[in-house]
């Protein structure tokens, strides 16, 4: 009996924490039981991974599934389906929904809902506000909560906290790592009057300039140092911030977005118009090159999509009335695999920063490693498969992607969540099996 498994993955090249090895993987009760099986081991299901690479389940720690909100744009059922079709096993969902996730009642509703409808495992952010600051220490410890998210700039209604005094109060409430959207709100507001409706879409990066991001990050790092509170700076977009962060690695981790590794100005605004508008903005090539350097020297801890869908009509409005935010949960893995094939980083580093990284930064239990005892989450990829991203493939009801027409070498061909094969060759299989991720308190 001990030689029988629920699932065996045979003949694959496994991306282990210590290197890539050709080995078999045995799964029982949703966990990895052993690597390197005997030839006579049996299983209910045998997955032949010949010619394929098996990565630890990849995690997108930055998605906006807009649920509750406008289901014609996105929802947890559709967003999580996009995640598994795109090779992700876990996502962490942001709190700026309608209503926002800022209290125990909202989180309790969302926990129950996620476990009924999600195709992938999920972590839930709690949004910090001035009103809930005193209770953040309790809220961040609730089941399934991946941490506190603070919008320190980029107005999102009641979720924004922009002044140092209020930010310091947040940092003194609770103890887990806090994730920040870092742009200096005062500088953003001061510069807004310099532009007019209908200016070119590239005005977005001039208005929200490098100093907006760098100043926001300098302020947050000073407060993190003052309070000793660990911080995670989301979507770093400037060379200056990557350089500055190196002095704070004892306390501060950071994220880079696939868009900031892939798209650059002015090209993106000329080709895509409003469909390139996001916060912080896509900038010139110099910053994209700095992001790659930071990824490959280890400054970067996580890669996200910042999947933030909007209706097509809202993206087509003249700048600055066009909505900010891009779809991306389904295209994150293919785009990164193509970067690996182009030699911009290694498959080992991709697995490190897209699985081990988010598990470490957020304290996710049982995630992030293809190793015995860990959750049987796998992203199975064909490194040789060539395919062009098409909008018809996108399952988000918003229906568009800024990567339409991009051809990729390397593609996710199966997604396995705690031992359940939920996607194989573009087909969604079975029923939604997603559960809340457990986090170290
Ligand atoms: Zn975001």
- Would you state the pLDDT for residue 184? 96
- Alpha-carbon distance of 418 to 82, in angstroms, equals 18
Same domain, residue pair 116 and 171: yes
- Would you state the pLDDT for residue 247? 97
**Considering the domain boundaries, does residue 187 fall inside one?**
yes
Which residues are near ligand 1, the ion (C-beta closer than 5 Å)?
306
Sign of CA dihedral 94, 231, 139, 185: negative
**Considering the domain boundaries, does residue 434 fall inside one?**
no
Q: Give the total number of structural domains in the chain.
A: 2
Cα 154 to ligand 1 centre (Å)? 10
Catalytic residue among 67, 209, 306, 382: 306
Same domain, residue pair 118 and 207: yes
Cα 140 to ligand 1 centre (Å)? 19
Same domain, residue pair 17 and 72: no
Cα 233 to ligand 1 centre (Å)? 11
User: Which CATH number characterizes residue 64's domain?
Assistant: 3.20.20.140
Same domain, residue pair 41 and 95: no
325: tokens are: 């935010």
Sign of CA dihedral 136, 137, 141, 146: positive
User: Which CATH number characterizes residue 45's domain?
Assistant: 2.30.40.10
**Considering the domain boundaries, does residue 126 fall inside one?**
yes
Closest by alpha carbon to 84, among 418, 320, 441, 437? 418
Same domain, residue pair 69 and 9: no
At what angle are helices 164-171 and 210-227 packed, to 10 degrees? Answer: 50
- Structural domain of residue 414, as residue ranges? 4-54+373-383+408-428
Same domain, residue pair 50 and 62: no
- Alpha-carbon distance of 328 to 410, in angstroms, equals 17
DSSP annotation string for 216-246: HHHHHHHHHHHHT--EEE-S---HHHHHHHG
Closest by alpha carbon to 255, among 269, 265, 241? 241
- Would you state the pLDDT for residue 157? 67
- Would you state the pLDDT for residue 153? 84
**Considering the domain boundaries, does residue 31 fall inside one?**
yes
Walking along the chain (441 residues) 10 residues at a time, the average pLDDT comes out as 91 98 98 92 97 98 97 98 98 97 98 98 98 98 98 80 96 98 95 96 98 98 98 98 97 98 98 98 98 98 98 98 97 98 98 98 98 98 98 98 98 98 97 98 81
Same domain, residue pair 129 and 207: yes
Give me the helices (H) in 273-346, please: 285-296, 312-315, 332-341
Cα 307 to ligand 1 centre (Å)? 7
- Would you state the pLDDT for residue 384? 98
Cα 308 to ligand 1 centre (Å)? 7
Tell me 353's DSSP state.
I
- Would you state the pLDDT for residue 392? 98
Confirm whether 306 is a catalytic residue. yes
Same domain, residue pair 258 and 346: yes
pTM for the full model? 0.98
**Considering the domain boundaries, does residue 234 fall inside one?**
yes
From 304, 331, 362, the end of a domain falls on 362
The conformational region for residue 19 under phi > 0 = left, psi -120 to 50 = alpha, else beta, is: left
For residue 154, give the H/E element and its range.
none
**Considering the domain boundaries, does residue 439 fall inside one?**
no
Same domain, residue pair 181 and 120: yes
Same domain, residue pair 84 and 209: yes
**Considering the domain boundaries, does residue 65 fall inside one?**
yes
* 233 contact partners, CB below 8 Å, separation of at least 6: 180, 182, 217, 220, 221, 241, 245, 252, 253, 254, 255
Cα 22 to ligand 1 centre (Å)? 37
* Phi and psi torsions of 314, nearest 5°: -75, -30
Same domain, residue pair 8 and 96: no
Cα 325 to ligand 1 centre (Å)? 8
| 233-281 tens-digit pLDDT | 999 999 999 999 999 999 999 999 999 999 999 999 999 999 999 999 9
**Considering the domain boundaries, does residue 389 fall inside one?**
no
Same domain, residue pair 208 and 350: yes
Q: Are 172 and 209 in contact (CB under 8 A)?
A: no
């Amino acid at each position: 009996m001990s030689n029988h498994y629920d699932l065996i993955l045979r003949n694959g090249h496994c991306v282990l924490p210590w290197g890539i090895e050709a080995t078999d993987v045995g799964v029982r009760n949703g966990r990895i039981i052993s690597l390197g099986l005997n030839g006579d081991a049996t299983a209910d299901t045998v997955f032949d991974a010949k010619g394929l690479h098996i990565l630890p389940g990849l995690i997108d720690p930055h998605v906006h599934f807009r649920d509750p909100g406008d289901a014609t744009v996105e929802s947890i059922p559709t967003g999580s389906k996009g995640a598994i079709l795109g090779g992700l096993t876990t996502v962490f969902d942001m709190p700026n929904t309608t209503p926002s996730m800022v209290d125990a009642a909202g989180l309790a509703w969302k926990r129950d809902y996620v476990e009924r409808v999600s195709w992938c495992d999920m972590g839930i952010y709690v949004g910090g506000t001035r009103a809930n600051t005193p209770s953040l220490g309790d809220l961040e410890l609730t089941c399934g909560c991946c941490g506190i998210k603070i919008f320190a700039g980029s107005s999102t209604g009641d979720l924004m906290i922009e002044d140092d005094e209020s930010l310091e109060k947040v940092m003194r409430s609770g103890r887990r790592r806090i994730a920040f959207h870092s742009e200096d709100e005062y500088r953003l507001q001061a510069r807004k009057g310099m532009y007019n409706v209908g200016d070119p879409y590239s005005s977005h990066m001039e208005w929200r300039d490098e100093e907006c991001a760098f100043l926001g990050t300098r302020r947050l790092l000073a407060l993190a140092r003052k309070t000793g509170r660990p911080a995670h700076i989301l979507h770093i977009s400037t060379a200056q911030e990557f350089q500055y962060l190196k002095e704070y690695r004892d306390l501060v981790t950071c994220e880079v977005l696939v868009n900031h590794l892939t798209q650059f100005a002015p090209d993106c605004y000329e080709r895509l118009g409003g469909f390139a508008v996001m916060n912080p903005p896509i900038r010139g090539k110099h910053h994209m090159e700095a992001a790659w350097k930071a990824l490959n020297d280890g400054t970067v801890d996580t890669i996200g999509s910042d999947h933030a869908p909007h209706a097509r009509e809202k993206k087509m409005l003249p700048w600055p009335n066009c909505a900010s935010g891009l779809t991306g949960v389904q295209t994150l893995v293919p785009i990164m695999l193509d970067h690996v094939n182009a030699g911009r980083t290694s498959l080992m580093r991709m697995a490190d920063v897209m699985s081990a990284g988010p598990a470490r930064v957020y304290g996710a239990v049982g995630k992030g490693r293809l190793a015995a005892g860990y959750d049987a989450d796998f992203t199975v990829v064909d490194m040789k498969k060539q395919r062009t991203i098409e909008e018809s493939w996108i399952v988000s009801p918003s229906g568009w992607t800024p990567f339409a027409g991009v051809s990729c070498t390397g593609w996710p061909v199966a997604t396995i969540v705690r031992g359940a094969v939920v996607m194989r060759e573009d087909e969604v299989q079975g029923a939604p099996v997603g559960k809340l991720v457990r986090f170290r308190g």
